[in-house]
Each structure stands twice: as structure tokens, then as C-alpha cells.
Structure 1
Amino acid sequence: MTAHTPALDLLAPDQRGILIGGTWREADSGDRFEVIDPADGSVITTVADASAGEAIEALDAAVEAQHSWSRTPPRERGEILRTAFELVTARADEFAALMSLEMGKTVAEARGEVAYGIEFFRWYAEEAVRIHGRYMQAPAGGSRLLTLKKPVGPCLFVTPWNFPLAMGTRKIGPAIAAGCTMVVKPAHQTPLTMLALAGVLAEAGLPDGVLNIVPTTDAAGVSEALMADDRLRKVSFTGSTGIGKVLVRQSAEQLLRVSMELGGNAPFLVFEDADVDAAVDGAMLAKMRNMGEACTAANRFLVHRSVAAEFAEKLGKRMGALTVGRGQDTGVDVGPLIDEKAVESVSQLVTDAIHDGATVVCGGQAPDGPGFFYPPTVLLDVPAESAINAEEIFGPVAPITTFDTEEEAVARANDTEYGLSSYAYTRDLARTIRLAESLDYGMVGINTGLVSNPAAPFGGVKASGFGREGGFEGIEEYLETTYVNLPAG
């Protein structure tokens, strides 16, 4: 039996289930799974555990709704998104409390995610009416060439636990705008925010069957069943590169349209001419957003030898002063990691780096439970070859490695299979241009620790995936192009 908490008030009792064709229902098996509070390991509530069969029923509903939804006027689709934007904005505090409860981030940070995440609905509300093709005369004359855009069709969205709202809205928003229906499988650690969002979209007027939700602990079975069905036309996944590769292989059988936002290993470069105080401010943003549990988080700090000690001292003071605790508590700056496995992984990387010769500036050791906490940690003089520079940390740890030349810094920054986001601090304009052109990343932040913006294309290269979310480019992921040849006369 779970205790009631006000953060759950966004969800009606029957809304903690499976959403198929506008109806909330239990799993046929009666199975439910527990949603755990990472701050103390307690059970928040339980949610219906969908099977592969129920996922196919959700796809049935999406397929049935696709024809009429694709013919809904763009303005109507946009107005639904706009209404949902306004409804979530009005309930921002409730969404933030719910997100903090199930994921662990502080309420203040959760409010930031609500503001960022729901902006995708406002952006794509405006883009829904700007889907267009072109008309031109054939170069040789004799005919006219017409192109038009059509929705891809039913989609599968697999969203991660670290941003329960934003990772959903930046997929759902353009899909709705483009006229696509969808089945969403939220992460089993954090399904509640997505279930609450589905309720808001229904309230905003989204027709039954356009959005279907299948919370499950059998992610592999559900995804495999859906992707084997030739009625599905697109899959969009945010998560680890390993799972992304599996999904890409599975998608090949049906030749699905695929968008993959995968792992990262973001370098944060600080050059000798940088404003060190500004770089520390940017590092706090790039490293500590979401306790470091973000694919865009600064993973490796590459700092010029001449400013490394100053940077490490100032960053250590800032990070060491942060208060760790339950995300809902007043005065807390850093919440828990998502689970015990995450704490073990971060702890091992730090231990190995210290063994390799790194110096601990602050933090460096996980506290005793309850809860899954790890303190903000700064490490100086981390050898370039240390595992912490090669693996995605996904925690509040800043390993600092020094460099001597720009060429060395760029080479080290690019020495990874990943290519999602990168950051650099310099006051040299020419160097800024060189970095933008030489860093092998989908996103480059110059003198800023924050690159995400709903109006900008989010995505990476290499093992960080392909496709873009957000910006003008994001809606193209949900549109197919039809070319029509028209006789001139």
C-alpha cells in the first residue's frame, strides 16, 4: 500500500494504467510495477505493466486514428498543442512536483524542465501551419513539378527517465503538428509525468487514438513487437547507444524512418584566454544540470595548463558548496541519482580515476543510504587515458585534464565515438570559428554551458545518433515528400 502524496494529484486513479484509443485500462494480466522514489527507495505508486499484445492493441488504435487525424486541418492541430501548452504552464508547479518525486531532481530544476519541455508544444503549434511544398516549371519545360508533404504515419516513441516531460514533448509536439499518430513507451522508472501529460492532451482536445501510452517493464518485448509490425512507419528513441543500435537493426526489417538521440561524451574546453569566472559559471550549467544525468552534460573538462589550477579551485568551491538531498526539500541543490546502479557506476569511475593519479578537489565518495546520492565531485590532473574520460559519467563529477595547444585540445575533444554536444570558452573570435568547424559534434556551445533550445535542431553525429529534434528541422522527421508531375497544357 502506497501513501498518498499531493504530487500525485495530477493523475486520476485510473490514469496510472495503459492508454489505448482514449481509454485508460489495466493490463490483461493484472500486472503492475512499482515506481520508486530515488530519494529513499520507497514506493510512490504502481502502474499497469503492458505486454507486447497490449502494445499491438495500442498500435491498432493509432492506425485506426491515422487517416482522420492526418486530414485534420493544420490550424486545429496547432490549436490543440497551444491549448496543451497553456494547460501545462498553468499547472507547472504540479508537474514539477510530480517529476521531482519520481525522478529525483530538485523542484526548481523540474520547473525549468517544464518551461523548456512545454515550449516544444508552443513551437510546433506555430509550425503546424507552415508545412509546405513547392511548385516549379521543369527545367526543360513541358511540365510542372509539384511537391507536397504528408505525415509519415504511426510512430513509436521510446523516452528516457532523465527528462520525463521534455523528452516526450519534443517528439509528441512535431508528430501532432505533422499529423502523425503515436504509441509512447515511457521509461519504467519515470512513467507518471508522461501519463499526466496524456491527460492534459486529452483535455486540450486531442482525439482518441492519436496518443497511446504503454508503460511497461518489458521494454525489449514491447518495442520488438511494435517494430515488427509493418503498419508502424517511424521510431524515435532517446537513450543509450547500445539499445539504439539494437533498435536500428530491428528497424531495418520494415525500413522504418528512424530518429536516434543516443549517448554523449561532451568535452568542455577552457582556453588560456578564457574568462575563467564565466567558464566556471558555464561549467556549473553544463555539468550540474539534472545532477549530471543528461546526454548533453559536460563529461570531460579539457583546460589549458595555465588556467587549470584556478579553474579547478573555483569550480571545486562552487560544486562543494552545493547541498545534496531530497529534491522536494527546501534549500537542496542536488537530488539523488536515479538508482543504486547509477551510484555504483559513478563511484567506480571516480575510484579508477583516483587510482590513475587524479587529485580530489571536492566530493569523491558516496554517502551511506537511504537513497541514491552522490556528492558533486571535481577531479584535477585526470590522465587523458583514464576511463572517466572515455565513458559517459551520468553523474555530478567533473574530471579535469590539461592541454597545451589548441590542436591538442581539439584532437582530444574529438577522440571519442560520440558526437552530441560540446562546449568551449575563449575570447578569440578566429578560434571560435575554427572550433565550430573542427569539433565533430552536432551541437557546439561557445561561451555558454547551455545548448538546448526548442527553436534549435537538437541531435548528434557518430555514435550519438542521427536525426534532429526541435527547430525547423524537427518536423521534417515526421513528413514524407510526394512529387507530382503535372502536364503544362
Structure 2
Amino acid sequence: MPLISDLFIDGQWVAGSTDDRFAVIDPAIGEPIAQFAVATLDDCERAVDAAAAALPAWSASSPRSRSEILRRAFDILTAEREQLAEVIVRENGKAWSDAIGEATYATDFFRWFAEEAVRVPGDFRLSPAGDKHIVVTHQPIGVSLLITPWNFPAAMATRKIAPALAAGCTVVLKPARETPLTAAYIVDALQRAGVPKGVVNLVTPQPTGPAVEAMLKHPAMRKLSFTGSTEVGRTLLHEAADHVISSSMELGGNAPFLVLPGADVEKAVEGAIVAKMRNGGSACTAANRFYVHGSVHDEFVSALTRAMGEFRVGSGLDRENTLGALVSIGERDKVAALVSTAVSEGSTVEFGGKPLDVGAFYEATVLSGVKHGDTINTTEIFGPVAAVVKYDDIDEAVRMANDSIYGLIAYVYGEHGAAMSTALRLDAGMVGVNRAVLSDPAAPFGGMKQSGLGREGSFEGILEFLEAKYIGIDI
């Protein structure tokens, strides 16, 4: 299928100010599938200028008109779900089931925020002193820079674009270098849905840092929404602070998965497979640290090992494969190094533990004998590796689970009362109790501590792109 590999600025697909292009690699075969245009600093400035020029008319448009454009984008991408999934597979490497699931999830953000566009809240009340009426309304925050990662190239783009457009903001999208083709596909769908020129822009600068810094310095830029590592998030927050730019940050995670005494081991393993292996483990929501009570530890490890052995590894273009490639050889090697370090620190490989000979593939892997504080226990793995820690006391399990700079998501499996009481004690913005999938456009996605600032999705998601304005009225 044809792949769009140009920039999108002010309503036009353009090659950029130079002839420079970079290769987009299919990680399953290690070969380029496209040459994408490189955005210069001038291209990035033109994109912000275009967004600024389009802002007055777009922000003044009716919520219903914005809603209908988003709904048309939903309809287009729903009809083309398999084409979108194929693009994701080809540049990201994930299994077909993961790609089709992401395409569905990503598309639904356009439907959700099409509905939220016409439901922005306001307030009208008499002041306590009785001297005036207080009116609170919301207005678009302005031009927004959206920076997305490679692991969910469709969903992370739509989760930002949809609320921004619903709120009346204009945007500049900067996708990850590894996965720009998916972003281009989504922008093309928005153009076909009727988004006016300048409202959505797509740039792919190389290197990224100077271009992002320049865009944040632009006087029209008012919002930064970033999904990526905590390390990069810290840098961006520093840069945004220099210009007092509102920032939403969805950063790293190191999710604990607690199996309590009395838990249904079969259900816990089913949940563990989903929480760990969705997207091949390359997810900020992936379960990384498995804390399993001693009374069920051996049974859990045995059952988890059997389940991990059932994955079929290979290209996502073969729909029978259930575990795809990591996004690059470099990412595969990072995972391999973590496993090697874990073994050197005393862990035992129960299953897997090796890369494949071809492509950026790594086997589904189970490690037992991991100690809290081991390197693999303090690192976001971002791969198909489950590291199991044995514990004997729930209070200690909670302490270990909370002993992290991250607080995005956690999982608890056990009898209902014990699981709920444990969930309330965990430092995480989201907790799955006896379930392994929480992501939903209707739910607030976000974390505590160094896992981020703000929430995406749900009713809160559109408020990230709106500013409250208070008007005092003497009636």
C-alpha cells in the first residue's frame, strides 16, 4: 500500500526545505520501507506560524462543526482499520493482534472527543457576598505542540490530537523518528475529514532537540503535550518553564503486578500475560515487577512459564504470529542486556532469554529468583520479559511496589476485599483490580510521581487544552 512520507504544513504535503530524508525501518526484516522528509528549523517555524494563523478561525468555530469533523475522521479510520494496522506493523514491528487493537483504540479517541467537543462545562453562580455573579467559561489554550512515541504511534497521536481539536486548539505533531508513517496516515485522514488548513501540521525534524526548543520559544506556542521517557520529559519541562508553557506529561512507568495470597492463580496468570505481553511488553503500562506471595509463587511461575511458551514469534504481517519484533535492533539489545544483568545478579531464566537470529525479535522470557532492587526490577524493561519476586508479607509487597520514582499503573490480583484494600495503598494513577487492561478513551489516563502530569482521555482530557476564564458580572 502507498505510504505518505512528507511533511504536512499549512494544509499541504511538502518535501521540506531540503532534499534530506531519513530511512523508516521495518524492524522485522531490518530493511527500509520508506524515506521520510526531514523538517528543518524553518519548516518547523512555518508549521507553528501556520497553526497560529489558523487559530482564530478554528477556535471561533462552533463546537458542533469541530465535533462533526472528528466524527468523520472516526468513520474514515474505522473503515480503514486494517490499512492503518498494516502501517503500524510495518514500521513498528508489533504483532497483528496488537496493531489491530491499537488501530481500534486510536480511532475511538476521535469518536469520544467528537462527543466531548459539545459538552465543555461552564458555571454561573452568585458570589457569597451577593455583590456580583460569577461566570466561568473555558477557551482554547492555543497553539499546541504534540510529541508522540514509537510504541503506540497511532493511539498516542489521536489521544492528543482529538482533545486539542475538540477544544478549538491548532496543533503541530512531532512523531517519533521510528514511526512517522502512522502519524502521516492519521493526518491524511483528518485532511480528508475536512480539517481546515493550518489546524493540523506534521513535522519530523532531525535532530529533534534544537527544533523542539525553537518551537517552544515561538511566541504563539502555548501548550506542550508529551508522551515518552521521564528523562526526556524532565528536559522538556525545563524548556517549557522558560516560557511558562502549560505542559501535560505522560512519562515512564515500572508497573508492579501483585499476586496476593488466596488469588486465583489461573486468572492471575491470564492477567499477567495480557498486562505483560500487550504490545510485546513495549508499553508504559506493561507489568514489569511481579510480586507473588510465597503461598502461590511456585504455581504462578510454573503456569506463567507454560503460557509464555505458547507465543509464536514472527512478523506481524503473518497474522498467526502473536509476538512481533521490538522497534529496533537497539531496543532488542537493551532488553537482552537487562536479562544478562539479571542472570549475573542471581536470577534464573525459566523460559526464553535469547534474541532471534534475524530481525529485532526477543523471546518471551520468564525470570524467577529476582530480588527487589535488582537492576531489572528498577528499570522500565519495554520488552517481553517478566521478572518475578517472591514475598511473604502484603505490607512488604506494598512497600516494594511503591518503592519507585514511577507511579503510572499497578495491578492487583486476589480476593476482592483484599485486592481493593491493597489497590488503595498503591502509589499509582491507575490500578487494575483483577483485570489487566485499563486503557479506555472514557477513562482518565495518567500517573503519579515522575510518571507524569495531567490526564489524557475521559472528561479531563479536553480540559488539558482549555483555560478557565472568570468573568464577574454586575447584573
Cα-to-partner distance string for 1:377-431 (whole Å, 9 max, x where unaligned): 00111111210000000000000001111101100000010010100001141x2
8 Å contact 1:38–1:338 — kept in the other structure? yes
Cα-to-partner distance string for 1:165-185 (whole Å, 9 max, x where unaligned): 000000001001100000000
Question: What secondary structure does 1:233 align onto?
Answer: strand
Cα-to-partner distance string for 1:196-228 (whole Å, 9 max, x where unaligned): 111110111111100000023321121111011
Task: Tell me whether 1:216 sits opposite 2:220 in the alignment.
Answer: no
Task: Tell me whether 1:72 sits opposite 2:61 in the alignment.
Answer: yes
Q: Which residue is 1:143 aligned to?
A: 132
Question: What secondary structure does 1:422 align onto?
Answer: strand
Task: Tell me whether 1:313 sits opposite 2:292 in the alignment.
Answer: no
Q: Which residue is 1:487 aligned to?
A: 474
C-alpha distance in 2 between matches for 1:437 and 1:428 = 12
8 Å contact 2:257–2:291 — kept in the other structure? yes
Question: What secondary structure does 2:424 align onto?
Answer: helix
Q: Which residue is 2:228 aligned to?
A: 239
Q: CA deviation at 1:189?
A: 0.4
C-alpha distance in 1 between matches for 2:423 and 2:473 = 43
Runs of 4+ that moved beyond 6 A? none
Q: Which residue is 1:423 aligned to?
A: 411
8 Å contact 1:51–1:218 — kept in the other structure? no
Q: Which residue is 1:3 aligned to?
A: none
Q: CA deviation at 1:132?
A: 2.5
Amino acid in the other structure paired with 1:361: E
Task: Tell me whether 1:447 sits opposite 2:434 in the alignment.
Answer: yes
Q: Which residue is 1:40 aligned to?
A: 29
Q: How many residues align?
A: 475
8 Å contact 2:96–2:322 — kept in the other structure? no
8 Å contact 1:273–1:428 — kept in the other structure? no
8 Å contact 1:269–1:409 — kept in the other structure? yes
Q: Which residue is 1:372 aligned to?
A: 360
Q: TM-score, normalised by structure 1?
A: 0.96
Q: CA deviation at 1:349?
A: 1.1
Q: CA deviation at 1:242?
A: 0.6
Amino acid in the other structure paired with 2:454: G
Q: CA deviation at 1:237?
A: 0.4
Q: Which residue is 1:225 aligned to?
A: 214
Match for residue 9 of structure 2 among 13, 20, 41 = 20
Q: TM-score, normalised by structure 2?
A: 0.99
Q: Which residue is 1:411 aligned to?
A: 399
Q: Which residue is 1:388 aligned to?
A: 376
Question: What secondary structure does 1:130 align onto?
Answer: coil
Match for residue 269 of structure 2 among 257, 280, 294 = 280
C-alpha distance in 1 between matches for 2:198 and 2:96 = 32
Q: Which segment drifts farther, 347-356 or 56-65? A: 347-356
Task: Tell me whether 1:174 sits opposite 2:144 in the alignment.
Answer: no
8 Å contact 1:133–1:147 — kept in the other structure? yes
Give the share of equivalent positions with the same residue, in percent.
47
Cα-to-partner distance string for 1:40-95 (whole Å, 9 max, x where unaligned): 11010111000122111000000000000001100010111111001000000111
For structure 2, list consecutive stretches of 5 or more residues without a partner in the other structure.
none
Structure 1 vs Structure 2 CA RMSD: 0.9
- Match runs of 1:111-150 below 5 Å: 111-150=100-139
Q: CA deviation at 1:264?
A: 0.4
C-alpha distance in 2 between matches for 1:196 and 1:341 = 26
Question: What secondary structure does 1:129 align onto?
Answer: coil
C-alpha distance in 2 between matches for 1:78 and 1:335 = 36
C-alpha distance in 2 between matches for 1:407 and 1:132 = 42
Question: What secondary structure does 2:36 align onto?
Answer: strand
Amino acid in the other structure paired with 1:469: E
Q: CA deviation at 1:344?
A: 1.4
Match for residue 473 of structure 1 among 444, 453, 460 = 460
Amino acid in the other structure paired with 2:134: L
C-alpha distance in 2 between matches for 1:85 and 1:214 = 23
8 Å contact 2:290–2:388 — kept in the other structure? yes
- Match runs of 1:46-65 below 5 Å: 46-65=35-54
C-alpha distance in 2 between matches for 1:53 and 1:247 = 20
C-alpha distance in 2 between matches for 1:421 and 1:81 = 29
Amino acid in the other structure paired with 2:375: A
Match for residue 250 of structure 1 among 228, 239, 246 = 239
Amino acid in the other structure paired with 1:347: A
